Amino acid sequence: MSQDKTILLNIKNLIIEGYSDEHWIEIVHGIDLTLHRGEVMGLIGESGAGKSTIGLAAMGFTKDGCRIGEGSSIEFDGLELTTTPQSDLQSLRGARIAYVAQSAAASFNPAHKLIDQHTEAPLQYRIQKRLESQEDAMELYERLRLPNPREIGFRYPHQVSGGQLQRAMTAMAMACRPDLIIFDEPTTALDVTTQIEVLSAIRDIVDQFNTAALYITHDLAVVAQMADVIKVLLKGDEVEEADTRSMLENPQDDYTKSLWAVRDFKKDQVPRPTDAAPLISVKNIDASYGDTPVLEDVSFDIFSGMTVAVVGESGSGKSTAARCITGLLPPTKGEILFQGTALPPDYRDRTKDQLRQAQMIYQMADTALNPKVKISEIIGRPAAFYSGLHGPELKNRVDELLDLIELDPSQYYNRYPPELSGGQKQRIGIARSLAAEPTFIICDEVTSALDQLVAEGILRLLDKLQKELNLAYMFITHDLATVRSIADEVVVMQYGKVVEQGPKDVMFKPPHHPYTDLLLSSVPEMDPDWLTTLLEERGVNSNTEVNNP
Amino acid sequence: MNYFIIGFYALLIGVSSLAAFYQKRTAFLLLFSLTLVSFVMGIVGGEAMLWSVTILAGLIAFSAGVSFSFREFLVILLPEDYAKEMRTAPLTAGFGLFIIFTYAISGIFAPIIAPYGEAEVISSAFAPADENMLLGADQLGRDMFSRIIYGARNTVGLALLATILAFAMGATAGLYAAAVGGKLDQLLGRIVDVIMSIPSLIFSLLLLSIFGTNTVTLIIVIAIIYAPRVFRLARSVGGNVVVMDYIEAAKLRGEGNWYLIRKEILPNSTAPLIAEFGLEFCFVFLLVAGLSFLGLGIQPPTADWGSMVRENATLISFGEITPLIPAGAIALLTVAVNFVVDWMLYRSSGLKE
């Protein structure tokens, strides 16, 4: 793939230590890594595996409270980074090593235009004059297939979409034509449809300039498209390294195999009961934020014991539909029936029992749990509030709920949310909703912030609970793999309208609505040729494509 | 050339060489620049100047030592959780805590510590210091030292009560406005704007001349003047918290506003509110002192640092430092509180983690 096989980055025995509780604790235990010019290496692993830390260390940088341990060696193009003074490292970063962060929205300064931020590094290192650099930026924008490449740079970060911003960030990283780019989960925050555009743009530009890259992600299917070599990490240790094809076809280690097998979970599809009435019935609702209409004539039914997945890109109105059902956003038209009776549109007018019946699990467990309240109280409060439990009864109930979500009560009873991992927090969120003894739970992207292994655990748990407690789920997601594993029925939404709905087996079989088709075909697959094939297929009738110069 | 000057330079150069030898970069830079500066000062100011440099350095070293020992003392004494916080605290915080501790002790045990009563006339007016009177007498012949001790109780106590009241009012209203929003938020916000648009000293003078000066009125008036600042802070901090999902979850559960404020919003807003408490305490303290200086604060014969400055102000023209002592007491407490507040701000800003 690359013409020039000299070694660019050679990391030997990398040890990184973090400072906590007045001790230095080793978080990366002696990683070796060799990257050739023009090569793309995928670093994968769960959160806490140390992949981002290693990515930063490749620039000779550690976060506050971390340090590179004794005996580590990071050699970049013949230069030993661990002993290079800060000032020299700084002139290396940006010019020869660039970094693309997960959230482009947070990494751009909102007060400056894109192109001014783009030209900053070339101007500072006196590589180009301002006008030259602007011209170069426009060319890069064009290569990354941004719309209006000549004008888009003069916009502010909030004026372009998330996918465009991520591409502008990649262009910015390219500004000085670095030898090495570190991509830290660049597409994790994007929809599947946007992700494809960013992935293909990144791949092309890395190819064209023969840039080496470290591609950090927890999504295997994505890394299969991007990387020449894959390195699997677990808790700061290397599990195995191999080139992409052999890694995918023949993983050696058990851990790697478990990562590969994640997408195997599939629950048995439950058919709609013929005799019963729906538990929740959304009837022709319209809703708007101020004067902007967001939902138009949305209707669907949810039956007891069934999971309805609501799918769509961001901005398709799937979360808004959930807000209408919970009563946070009263619909402007239409009604929501619960067991045949209409719910008051505003949650403040609903009775305690109506509120109890419908619970919600949130996407970000970090913001969904009060960090200053103990687990016992987070879970205990709904139980106390609705059922009036207190004293030993309440404690028993909390223990029971913790058992239900497979966390040991004696260990977690008195802890605070920040002490837990992402998956554990999400479990606490589930326990909180169960404490109210609901019949219906809205799951708003509950797994999208989690690693695949952890996410699978959550899905299995939700499935188990559904069978035990006969719960109905409304499962909001943009990830079709999740839909495949957990849904009974699927509702596809676009621009605030329901495009298509039906049982899962029917929905996943052609013929599809064109939008469903686009969503389905955009889900990355484990095949390393998937992206190439897909782009070729789409290239025929796609007009967003700009010919490469 | 006398022995003092020779010793002075020899010590400085010796210690800075030692620092250089042991690779203590900062210490060496500090000491050696002090050496160079004292060459200039010695030439310009002579021996007297060098003496004052020595005394100043000694004072700083002494207070650093005291802060260090006090911090270690607290580390040993406190339970594990707090001890860990203290161990990482800067020396300035240790100094601040020590000063606050000293003030608290002298305020609480004033009648035991003070040799005379605060209103007791024991000698002639403006009598100089002797073995009975550590700091001399004031304009009526009362013991200055005793009055300073009692002043800690009166002035600090009053400022503390007023600040607590201001916080109780401001924080409750602010968090309530953040939780409820809408018209009530607007209404409270505009009332606060009106109060804040009037200069605080003039407003308090106005209110005090209407309602008369007694301790209770004084506390309430000061609390009303300072509550709006707390309101603004509490509202903006609370505003960041109410958008979190856990608040939404609690609202959907059907929780009332009082529960939301008490259990969900307040625990997540305490850090900035505590830091603000320290700052506001200083402002309130200065306002009390200022009001007393103008004659509208704590009324005689009760000892109060602000009025003590005014009453003894004439002594300044005779080259006496007596009126500066209560002023210094005010300044020292303000500095100490700010040291502690800085430390808390640093901790709550998340720089550490």
- Mapped onto helix, strand or coil, the DSSP state of residue A496 is coil
| Predicted local distance difference test score (pLDDT) of residue A170 | 83
Query: For the CA atoms of B40, B42, B45, B47, what is the dihedral angle to 10 degrees?
Result: 170
- Asked if residues A493 and A317 have their Cβ atoms less than 8 Å apart, the reply is yes
* pLDDT of A36 above 90: no
**What is the reported pTM?**
0.74
Residues on chain B touching A326 (C-beta within 8 angstroms)? 252
Strand intervals (E) in A124-210? 180-184
Q: B6: which strand partners?
A: none
| Rounded Cα distance, B3 and B15, in Å | 18
Whether residue A369 and residue B253 make contact (CB cut-off 8 A), yes or no, is no
- Domains within chain A, CATH numbers bracketed: 7-261 (3.40.50.300), 280-509 (3.40.50.300)
Whether residue B268 and residue A352 make contact (CB cut-off 8 A), yes or no, is no
Nearest CA of chain B to the CA of A352: how many Å?
7
Question: Tokens 């035991």 label which residue?
Answer: B112
| Predicted local distance difference test score (pLDDT) of residue B235 | 93
* pLDDT of A452 above 80: no
Contacts of B348 (CB under 8 A, 6+ apart): B271, B272, B274, B275
Buried b (16+ CB within 10 A) or exposed e, A412-428: bbeeebeebebbbbbbb
| Predicted local distance difference test score (pLDDT) of residue B191 | 93
* pLDDT of A1 above 60: no
Least CA distance to B253: which residue of chain A?
Answer: A355
Nearest CA of chain A to the CA of B263: how many Å?
8
- Nearest CB partner across the interface for A360, out of B88, B249, B268: B249
Please report the residues numbered 241 through 260 in chain B whose beta carbons come closer than 8 angstroms to any beta carbon of chain A.
244-246, 248-249, 251-255
For the record, the structure tokens of A324 come out as: 């209408």
- Nearest CB partner across the interface for B264, out of A364, A370, A382: A370
- Nearest CB partner across the interface for B244, out of A22, A64, A367: A367
Which of the listed ranges A109-118, A121-130, A148-157, B220-229 does the model predict with the highest average pLDDT? Answer: B220-229
- Nearest CB partner across the interface for B252, out of A347, A371, A381: A347
Whether residue B245 and residue A368 make contact (CB cut-off 8 A), yes or no, is yes
Residues on chain A touching B262 (C-beta within 8 angstroms)? none
Nearest CA of chain A to the CA of B63: how many Å?
27
Whether residue B249 and residue A372 make contact (CB cut-off 8 A), yes or no, is no
Interface mutation vs chain B, best among A360, A372, A373, most B CBs within 10 Å: A372
Question: Tokens 């230095």 label which residue?
Answer: A24
Radius of gyration in angstroms for the set of CA atoms belonging to chain A, rounded to a whole number: 25
Residues on chain B touching A328 (C-beta within 8 angstroms)? 248, 252
Which of the listed ranges B74-78, B84-88, B194-198 does the model predict with the highest average pLDDT? Answer: B194-198
* pLDDT of B318 above 60: yes
* pLDDT of B352 above 60: no
Query: Which helix or strand (DSSP H or E) is residue A310 part of?
Result: strand A307-311
- Asked if residues A436 and A442 have their Cβ atoms less than 8 Å apart, the reply is no
Q: pLDDT of A399-446, one tens digit each?
A: 888 888 888 888 888 888 888 877 888 889 989 998 888 999 999 888
| Rounded Cα distance, A399 and A411, in Å | 11
Residues on chain B touching A382 (C-beta within 8 angstroms)? 253
Average pLDDT, chain B: 86
Residues on chain A touching B257 (C-beta within 8 angstroms)? none
Whether residue A347 and residue B245 make contact (CB cut-off 8 A), yes or no, is no
Query: Pick from B7, B52, B46, B12: which is nearest to B32 by CA?
Result: B12
| Predicted local distance difference test score (pLDDT) of residue A548 | 37
| Predicted local distance difference test score (pLDDT) of residue B74 | 87
How many beta-carbon pairs under 8 angstroms link A with B?
Answer: 53
Whether residue A369 and residue B251 make contact (CB cut-off 8 A), yes or no, is no
Whether residue A360 and residue B252 make contact (CB cut-off 8 A), yes or no, is yes
Whether residue A373 and residue B263 make contact (CB cut-off 8 A), yes or no, is yes
- Nearest CB partner across the interface for A352, out of B254, B263, B351: B254
Least CA distance to B244: which residue of chain A?
Answer: A367
Using a pLDDT cut of 70, give the percent of chain B over it.
98
Residue A218 burial (CB count, 10 A): 22
* pLDDT of B193 above 90: yes
Q: pLDDT of B134-160, one tens digit each?
A: 787 887 888 888 888 998 888 888 888
Interface mutation vs chain A, best among B85, B86, B87, B245, most A CBs within 10 Å: B245
Residues on chain B touching A386 (C-beta within 8 angstroms)? 253
Q: pLDDT of A268-316, one tens digit each?
A: 777 787 777 888 888 888 888 878 888 888 888 888 888 899 988 777 8
| Predicted local distance difference test score (pLDDT) of residue A415 | 84
| Predicted local distance difference test score (pLDDT) of residue A539 | 64
Least CA distance to A374: which residue of chain B?
Answer: B263
Q: How long is chain B?
A: 353
Contacts of A501 (CB under 8 A, 6+ apart): A300, A489, A490, A491, A492, A507
Residue B111 burial (CB count, 10 A): 12
Q: pLDDT of A238-270, one tens digit each?
A: 888 888 888 777 777 888 777 776 666 777 777
Least CA distance to A347: which residue of chain B?
Answer: B252
Q: How sure is the predictor about B223, in pLDDT bands with cuts at 50, 70 and 90?
A: very high
| Predicted local distance difference test score (pLDDT) of residue A21 | 66
Residues on chain B touching A385 (C-beta within 8 angstroms)? 253-255
Nearest CA of chain B to the CA of A79: how many Å?
27
Query: Pick from A370, A385, A376: which is nearest to A438 by CA?
Result: A385
Nearest CA of chain A to the CA of B352: how many Å?
8
Q: A80: which strand partners?
A: A75
| Predicted local distance difference test score (pLDDT) of residue B228 | 93
Mean pLDDT, range A543-548, rounded to an integer: 40
Between A96 and A5, whose confidence is greater? Answer: A96
Whether residue A352 and residue B248 make contact (CB cut-off 8 A), yes or no, is no
Residues on chain A touching B251 (C-beta within 8 angstroms)? 347
Nearest CA of chain A to the CA of B130: how many Å?
52
- Nearest CB partner across the interface for A369, out of B84, B246, B254: B246
- Mapped onto helix, strand or coil, the DSSP state of residue A326 is helix
A432 touches chain B (CB under 8 A): yes
Residues on chain A touching B268 (C-beta within 8 angstroms)? 370-372
| Predicted local distance difference test score (pLDDT) of residue B186 | 93
Q: pLDDT of A166-222, one tens digit each?
A: 888 888 888 888 888 888 888 776 777 778 878 888 888 888 888 888 888 877 778
Location of each CATH 1.10.3720.10 domain in chain B? 152-348
Whether residue B252 and residue A355 make contact (CB cut-off 8 A), yes or no, is yes
| Rounded Cα distance, B49 and A311, in Å | 80
Domain boundaries B152-348, corresponding CATH code: 1.10.3720.10
Residues on chain A touching B245 (C-beta within 8 angstroms)? 362, 364, 367-368
Buried b (16+ CB within 10 A) or exposed e, B77-90: eeeeeeeeebeebe
Q: How far is CA B152 from the centre of its chain?
A: 12
B350 touches chain A (CB under 8 A): no
* pLDDT of A540 above 60: no
Nearest CA of chain B to the CA of A370: how many Å?
6
Whether residue A347 and residue B251 make contact (CB cut-off 8 A), yes or no, is yes
DSSP-derived pairing of the beta strands A358-361 and A440-444: parallel
Interface mutation vs chain A, best among B252, B260, B265, most A CBs within 10 Å: B252
| Rounded Cα distance, A145 and A539, in Å | 13
Task: Give the dihedral sign, CA A234/A236/A239/A240.
Answer: positive
Residues on chain B touching A379 (C-beta within 8 angstroms)? none
Please report the residues numbered 322 through 381 in chain A whose beta carbons come closer than 8 angstroms to any beta carbon of chain B.
326-328, 347, 350, 352, 355, 359-360, 362, 364, 367-373, 381
For the record, the structure tokens of A390 come out as: 């207190």
| Rounded Cα distance, B343 and B95, in Å | 11
| Start-to-end CA span in chain B (Å) | 55
Whether residue B252 and residue A371 make contact (CB cut-off 8 A), yes or no, is no
| Rounded Cα distance, A354 and A116, in Å | 53
Residues on chain B touching A370 (C-beta within 8 angstroms)? 244, 246, 263-264, 267-268
Q: pLDDT of A323-350, one tens digit each?
A: 888 888 888 888 888 888 888 888 888 8
* pLDDT of B126 above 80: no
- Asked if residues A441 and A279 have their Cβ atoms less than 8 Å apart, the reply is no
For the record, the structure tokens of A542 come out as: 């796609």
Average pLDDT, chain A: 82
Question: Tokens 């620049």 label which residue?
Answer: B33
The yes/no answer to whether this complex scores an ipTM above 0.90 is no
Least CA distance to A355: which residue of chain B?
Answer: B253
- Asked if residues B212 and B303 have their Cβ atoms less than 8 Å apart, the reply is no
Q: pLDDT of A60-82, one tens digit each?
A: 888 777 788 887 888 888 788 88
Backbone angles phi, psi at A6, to 5 degrees: -75, 155
Mean pLDDT, range A156-170, rounded to an integer: 81
Burial zone of A87 (CB within 10 Å; 0-12 exposed, 13-18 middle, 19+ buried)? exposed
